[in-house]
A and B are shown apart, each in its own frame.
Chain A
Amino acid sequence: MKDIDSIAVLQDPVRRRLYEYVVAQGREVGRNEAAEAAGVARTLAAHHLDKLTEAGLLECGSRRLTGRSGPGAGRPAKVYTRARAERSVSLPARDYRTAAELLAEAAEQAGLDAGLCAAARRRGEALRGSAEPCGGLEEAMEVLAARGYEPYVAGAEATGDVQAAEGAGVTATAAARVVRMRNCPFHAVAERFPPLVCGMNLALLEGLFGTDGPVRARMDARPGECCVVVESSKNNID
């Protein structure tokens, strides 16, 4: 299916709600849960979830949600996650990705990391404009969400156990809270030139939040997520 056809599948408002719900969870979502979240009957949700899967927007697997196995555990349930493939449409046709990859390749070969980071930091500061440095993690979440990072709250000590921290996110103590991001807006170039592009990303966020304000961005890369975490500056003064 062409990108434009896949994206057109989201025109249906129920599909759109289901898609956005599944994406926002960052984990496998069953049919019952998705139906409840979208406020529609289970059979209708199942129909639309499968349409989204056919369109290549979601991926479908099967899981025994109860955790039981063997006879008596029941049939495995269908679960959905966001598909990894990127979809985009530009009218008229544009190809910024090739431009980005070529510029990144040239910057990498010429060792232009420092210049790139300086430009990214300036851009972040320009985006912030005359505003004060970011005032707190809630504000940081809004800024990050608006830029497509898909932020969520996690416990700082939750290395390798993000799910547990996520569930406890709201109640986690202020000192332990960090904001992590599920999505890397620069994914394709970051995969090809990680140190260069991840460094650029960190500098952009440093500019966006300010480096001497209440929050700070720092590199803490994990598989499958953005390389940066955002935390309260006071966490790290001791």
Chain B
Amino acid sequence: MTASAPAAHLAQLNVATLRHPLDDPRTTPFTEMLAPVNAAADGTPGFVWRLVEEGTGDATGLRPAGEDVIVNLSVWESREALWDFTYRSGHLEVLRRRREWFHRHVEAHLVLWWIPAGQLPTVGEALERLAHLRAHGPSPRAFTFASFCTAAEAAPSSRPEPAAGAAAVQTG
């Protein structure tokens, strides 16, 4: 843990391509879990922000990456906070059953990047980070849990060149 880290927050975007429409009975188990899981996220220590469509409780109605692609964009204080919510909370049950509701992505479907604390990412910026990860592999600009960069590593001062040789292992 670096003591000088609080100036940066961790942004995450993931995309998921629906097998069936959101109002299809086959997707109902997923939509039923949305409210409790989102409420759990909001109450998780280290949670900062998540994208919500105006007048609703979540972002599933926004389709910036395609008609059948739902997006999840959020900001966290640390890797640990995001990891524990993603994989060590009720959210894990959603992930466990993900193949029932979503197509498998051949390309990366999750991207992480650091932002200055106090700022919020835009959907456009988030999609650009995902495109960067898909095109160039993990780098301090766009990475995954498996290819994680610390805020210090991603800071412009300690980044001489884009990491051209970064390992292309994508497990997220």
Are A221 and B99 closer than 8 Å at their CB atoms?
Answer: no
Whether A199 is near chain B, meaning CB under 8 Å from some CB there, is yes
Shortest B41–chain A CB gap in Å is 14
Interface presence of A202 (CB below 8 A): yes
Stretch at the interface among A47-55, A140-148, A161-169, A190-198: A190-198
Residue contact A220 to B90, C-beta cutoff 8 Å: yes
Type the 1/0 row for B62-101, where 1 means its CB is closer than 8 Å to any CB of A.
0000000000000000000000101111101101101100
Count of B interface residues, CB-CB < 8 Å: 15
Chain A residues within 8 Å of B104, by CB: 111
From the candidates A105, A113, A194, A202, name the one contacting B87 in the complex (CB within 8 A).
A194
Give chain A residues whose Cβ lies under 8 Å from the Cβ of B95.
194-195
Q: How many Å lie between the Cα of A111 and that of B97 in the bound state?
A: 12
Whether the Cβ atoms of A223 and B88 lie closer than 8 Å is yes
Q: Is B146 an interface residue (CB 8 A)?
A: yes
Given A111-B99, A195-B96, A195-B98: A221 in contact with B171 (beta carbons within 8 A): no
A110 nearest CB neighbor, chain B only: B104
Once the chains are docked, how many angstroms separate the CA of A28 from the CA of B64? 49
Interchain CB contact under 8 A, B92 and A192: no
| A105, B92: Cβ atoms closer than 8 Å | no
Q: How far is the CA of A194 from the CA of B96 in the complex (A)?
A: 8
B92 lies within 8 A of A114 (CB) = no
Kindly state whether residue A139 has any CB partner on chain B within 8 Å: no
Nearest chain A CB to B98's CB is how many angstroms away? 6
Contacts of A220 in B (CB 8 A): 90
Q: Given A113-B99, A221-B87, verify A195-B146 contact (CB < 8 Å).
A: no
Chain B positions within 8 Å of A202 at CB level:
96
User: Which residues of B have CB within 8 Å of A223?
Assistant: 84, 88
A193 to B146, CA, bound (A): 9
Given contacts A111-B99, A113-B99, A223-B84, contact A198 B92 (CB under 8 A): yes
Residues of chain B with a CB closer than 8 A to A105's CB: 171
Q: Would B88 and A195 count as touching, CB distance under 8 A?
A: no
Excluding A113-B99, A220-B90, 5 further A-B contacts by CB distance (< 8 Å) are A105-B171, A192-B146, A195-B95, A198-B87, A221-B92
Q: List 21 A-B contacts (CB under 8 A).
A: A108-B171, A109-B171, A113-B98, A113-B99, A192-B146, A193-B171, A195-B96, A195-B98, A198-B92, A199-B96, A202-B96, A219-B92, A219-B93, A219-B96, A220-B90, A221-B87, A221-B89, A221-B93, A222-B88, A222-B89, A223-B88
